[in-house]
């Protein structure tokens, strides 16, 4: 059987269709073939440079060893916007800077700044650009998957283009290992939180026109990062923190339960746990699926290539041991790298689609409960807003006016009506059946097609293969 997915309007232009051949889990040649085909169709057109190694910007400079965290290593103040699909009027900078890894060693990190045409006015002044630090969601686990190397900056009008259109300067950390020549510790939120915080310090050091005060905002994996930033601000703060928005966060990146599912995100996560805690990959994977993942890495494949590698497999196809999330390395990772249950250094807004099919509400609610049980958090605002009936990415559109107002209020130092925890529903007053739930648009502006088709934007008929990652118990 073959799964044939006509890709909306793209098919006509590409003269092809994405064919997920029903490879058997032992047929590596077939799996590699469909992985390459998927990457060619869905990923490479959205890359600024493929392979990323061809862009000298991402090479680590020799003087990294002397750098302090937050120090600039390279600056491309004016990036060539004809390589990007950013909206008219906006501009882009890229920079490399020093962050720290799990050993507190200095490591190279990259990021970008999306500049508005004109800054949003606060304090009656428009000479300062109000800074929003964006924490992105899963893009993949190889250097190639850096947001700064993605034409639509991965989130396009779901977040970053919208923020810049409203006059915010958006500082976007790639996270160490995406872009820079390092191992990427996927879902190790507190490490990505280091990367975001030091990206702010680095950006402010070379662009004094950026505001001293900042809001962080992330979605999906980045929702966990946004949460970790608020926790970091309680223990190792940098100046200027106004609050954080955690959208669709999975506070517990892995539940220590068996059996594991077939999500490629969980398989990606096993690589992190192998790196940080010595999980033996050859003892948990069947040989061919492991080779298939290594193939995805070797060709610079990102989310979609990962989906294609595993699309038609169940968990027993992929793993020889489907109980590996109960192993000591996985339990240690969950203990050390989950967020929630700690004091926060400022207010937090949790935004969660009630119909999120990728990162369901259960994890976010459990994390909210754990964070609200910390006495110190009674003095800050922790708000959980359920975006009723909306899915993973659609919830960002549906709640847009709410989060934009929340960010504006933080810059205006508007006090909260109440401190402590609160929960509410954000729902449409229109009849439920009349409310759009899918992201149906694909924008094609030029020939050859350049689209906002991003690595997390999957056509609905692809969703059955994207089962999302395991929620915390
Ligand atoms: C790879 O894909 C091409 C084009 O669809 C096909 O002709 C070829 O037989 C495939 N090879 C394998 C090993 O599946
Ligand atoms: C490394 O070199 C770059 C440019 O050559 C310079 O801007 C930067 O300050 C240096 N960094 C360190 C840590 O010496
Ligand atoms: C920017 O990129 C475009 C397209 O790749 C190229 O034609 C142009 O020469 C570049 N501009 C600069 C200033 O490098
Ligand atoms: C990390 O290293 C810096 C020096 O680069 C040091 O000041 C800091 O205390 C270290 N942090 C931890 C947690 O070890
Ligand atoms: C507005 O003014 C206040 C008080 O001087 C300052 O703390 C804040 O950073 C300013 N906000 C912006 C966005 O410049
Ligand atoms: C998984 O799929 C294989 C075929 O690839 C099948 O033999 C096996 O029974 C399935 N296992 C489960 C638990 O569904
Ligand atoms: C599978 O992994 C679990 C957790 O580490 C372990 O307890 C179990 O012995 C393993 N099963 C086999 C057959 O190796
Ligand atoms: C969160 O706390 C509420 C109120 O105590 C409780 O009803 C609910 O079951 C908890 N949910 C989770 C997922 O822990
Ligand atoms: C909350 O703030 C008040 C006033 O600043 C202080 O007295 C109280 O101890 C704080 N409570 C907690 C749990 O930190
Ligand atoms: C939100 O809506 C759900 C479903 O209708 C309901 O169960 C829940 O009580 C509501 N929550 C709040 C805080 O109003």
Domains of the chain: 4-45+255-333 (no CATH), 56-227+235-251+349-424 (3.40.50.1820)
CA distance 441 to 102: 40
Q: Are 185 and 272 in contact (CB under 8 A)?
A: yes
Taking each helix axis from N to C terminus, what angle separates 28-38 and 287-298, rounded to the nearest 10 degrees?
Answer: 30
Q: 42 CA distance to ligand 3 centroid (A)?
A: 24
CA 372 to CA 398: how far, in whole Å?
26
Predicted pLDDT of residue 134? 98
Q: Which of 14, 404, 396, 12 is nearest to 215 (CA)?
A: 404
Q: Is 2 in the pocket of ligand 1 (CB under 6 A)?
A: no
| Distance from residue 193's CA to the centre of ligand 9 (Å) | 26
Cβ of residue 323 lying under 6 Å from some atom of ligand 7: yes
Does 213 sit in the ligand 5 pocket, CB within 6 Å?
A: yes
Residue 350, CA distances (Å) to 201, 356, 384, 423 in order: 25, 14, 5, 9
- In whole angstroms, give the CA distance from residue 244 to residue 407: 9
**Ligand 1 and 16: CB distance under 6 A:** no
Round to whole Å and give the CA distance between 59 and 51: 13
* Probe residue for ligand 6, chosen from 315, 317, 323 as the CB with the greatest number of ligand atoms within 8 Å: 317
**Distance, CA 181 to ligand 4 centroid (Å)?**
22
- Using CA atoms, how far apart are residues 393 and 437, in angstroms rounded to an integer? 10
Atom 5 of ligand 7, residue of closest alpha carbon: 327
> Atom 6, ligand 10: which residue's CA is nearest?
425
**Shortest-distance Cα residue to atom 5 of ligand 5:** 123
Q: What is the mean pLDDT of each run of 10 residues along the chain (473 residues)?
A: 33 40 90 91 88 98 94 98 93 98 97 98 87 97 97 92 98 98 98 98 98 98 98 98 98 95 94 98 98 98 90 92 98 98 98 94 98 97 98 94 98 94 98 86 45 43 36 22
Q: What is the pLDDT of residue 19?
A: 54
From atom 11 of ligand 3, which residue's Cα is the shortest distance away? 80
Nearest CA to ligand 1 atom 7: 33
Cα 369 to middle of ligand 8, angstroms: 6
- Looking at all shown ligands, the one closest to residue 106's CA atom is 4
Q: Considering only CA atoms, which residue is closest to atom 14 of ligand 8?
A: 366
| 372, 378, 379, 419, best to mutate for ligand 9 pocket (most atoms within 8 Å of CB) | 379
122 ligand 5 Cβ < 6 A: yes
CA distance 390 to 18: 27
Q: Which tokens sit at 66?
A: 């002397």
State in Å: Cα 276 to ligand 5 middle. Answer: 40
d(CA 330, CA 439): 35
The token pair that represents 271 in the structure block: 């690589």
């Amino acid at each position: 059987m073959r799964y044939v997915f006509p890709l909306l309007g793209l098919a006509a232009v590409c003269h092809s269709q994405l064919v997920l051949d029903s490879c058997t889990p032992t047929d590596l040649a077939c799996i590699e073939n469909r992985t390459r085909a998927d990457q060619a169709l869905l990923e490479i057109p959205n890359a600024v440079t493929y392979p990323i190694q061809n862009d000298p910007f991402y090479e680590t400079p020799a003087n990294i060893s002397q750098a302090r965290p937050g120090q600039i290593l390279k600056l491309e103040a004016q990036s060539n916007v004809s390589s990007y699909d950013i909206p008219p009027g906006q501009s882009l900078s890229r920079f490399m800077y020093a962050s720290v890894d799990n050993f507190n060693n200095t490591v190279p990190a990259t990021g970008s700044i999306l500049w508005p045409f004109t800054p949003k006015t606060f304090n009656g002044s428009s000479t300062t650009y109000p800074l929003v630090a964006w924490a992105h969601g899963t893009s993949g686990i190889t250097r190639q998957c850096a947001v700064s190397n993605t034409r639509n900056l991965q989130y396009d009008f779901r977040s970053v283009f919208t923020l810049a259109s409203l006059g915010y300067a958006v500082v976007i950390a790639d996270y160490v290992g995406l872009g820079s020549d390092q191992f990427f510790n996927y879902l190790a939120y507190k490490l990505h939180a280091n990367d975001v915080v030091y990206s702010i310090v680095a950006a402010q050091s070379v662009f004094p026109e950026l505001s001293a005060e900042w809001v962080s905002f992330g979605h999906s994996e980045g929702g966990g990062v946004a949460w970790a930033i608020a926790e970091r601000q309680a223990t190792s703060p940098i100046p200027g923190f106004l609050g954080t928005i955690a959208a669709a966060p999975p506070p517990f990146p892995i539940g220590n339960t068996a059996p594991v599912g077939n999500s490629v995100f969980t398989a990606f996560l096993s690589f992190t746990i192998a790196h940080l805690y010595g999980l033996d990959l050859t003892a948990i994977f069947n040989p061919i699926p492991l080779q298939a993942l290594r193939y995805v890495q070797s060709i610079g494949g990102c989310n979609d290539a990962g989906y294609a590698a595993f699309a038609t497999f169940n968990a027993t196809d992929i793993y020889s041991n489907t109980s590996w999330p109960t192993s000591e390395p996985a339990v240690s990772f969950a203990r050390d790298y989950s967020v929630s249950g700690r004091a926060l250094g400022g207010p937090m807004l949790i935004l969660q689609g009630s119909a999120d099919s990728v990162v369901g509400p259960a994890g976010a609610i459990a994390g909210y409960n754990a964070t609200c049980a910390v006495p110190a958090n009674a003095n800050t605002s922790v708000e959980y807003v359920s975006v009723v009936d909306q899915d993973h990415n659609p919830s960002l559109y549906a709640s847009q006016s709410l989060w934009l107002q929340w960010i504006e209020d933080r810059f205006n130092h508007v006090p909260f009506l109440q401190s402590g925890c609160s929960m509410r529903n954000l729902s449409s007053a229109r009849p439920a059946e009349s409310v759009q739930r899918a992201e149906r648009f694909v924008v094609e502006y030029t020939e050859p097609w350049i689209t906002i088709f991003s690595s997390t934007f999957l056509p609905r008929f692809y969703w059955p293969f994207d089962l999302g990652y395991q929620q915390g118990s």
